[in-house]
Amino acid sequence: MLKKALILICLALLVAPVGADEMTVDEVVESYIEAMGGRDAWNAVKTAKMDGKMVMGGQMEMPISVIYQRPGKVRMEMEMQGQKIVQAFDGEQGWQIMPLMGKTEPQKMTDDEAKTVKSQSDFEGPLFNYKEKGHTVKLMGIEEVEGTEAYKLEITLDTGDVTYSYLDTESFLEFQQEGKSRAQTGQEVKTTTTLGDYKEIGSLLLAHSREIRPEGLPQSLMIVIDSVELNPEGISDEQFAMPEVEPAAEAAEGEKNDG
């Protein structure tokens, strides 16, 4: 992988002989894609499964499992206090089961909740085929971030949300993201995500750790990936579809929420 990074740097210098800071946004994005394993290798992934854990505040741990299926489907399962939490997006709508909030039956997400989960269904991330996805990307220049020189990319998603991605100028790997997330109070909170522990999975290079730090909050959230399977058997459309709720159960759920 180090050899690949060195080749990419040489190619970048040939394309922009006046210096790396003269690279175009598409040259930076293509170098990033190559560093992550290449466009063909990523396009060959139709489904994926990740297992790991979510660590809150450095203490509370929750096992987490995520499955993906193209185009734009994701299902996340977490276990907390002995109860299973499910959030999913079937390509068109989001739904969830949140027993700790009294929602023991599948329920449709609000538009804001669904927008967040939909963005997580993009397995390869917004920079891959960004034009086809309806996103726009601007190269904001080179900045030093915690001692590392980085290309700063401004990504305007098709939803209108804006995020920032920082790519190491030597390896072209993404190591930091900035964006906003919606807290349970409904307020938007600025978050900084640090990516690390890159490992080769097949032909791909994937970050196995993400530390999410909400602005103004003392505790961070760490996601650690223990295993990744590409194109595993057994993933089907039914796993992403919202289960049908029996009328009696649906009425009981509504009465519980009203109460």
pLDDT tens digits along 109-121: 998 888 888 888 9
- Around Cβ 107, how many Cβ atoms within 10 Å? 20
Q: Look up residue 138 and give its two tokens.
A: 């601007």
Q: Look up residue 237 and give its two tokens.
A: 């459309």
pLDDT at 28: 97
- Around Cβ 187, how many Cβ atoms within 10 Å? 9
Is pLDDT at 202 greater than 60 in this prediction?
A: yes
The rounded mean pLDDT for the chain is 85
- Around Cβ 150, how many Cβ atoms within 10 Å? 21
Is pLDDT at 188 greater than 80 in this prediction?
A: no
pTM value is 0.80
Among the residue ranges 2-16, 36-50, 174-188, 224-238, the one predicted with the least confidence is: 2-16
Among the residue ranges 8-12, 59-63, 221-225, the one predicted with the least confidence is: 8-12
| Residue 62 neighbours by CB under 8 Å, 6+ apart | 53, 54, 55, 56, 78, 79, 80
Binned at pLDDT 50, 70 and 90, residue 258 comes out as low
Q: Tell me the per-residue pLDDT of 90-107, one tens digit each, with 9 for 90 and over.
A: 999 999 999 888 888 999
Asked if 186 contacts 168 with a C-beta cutoff of 8 angstroms, the reply is no
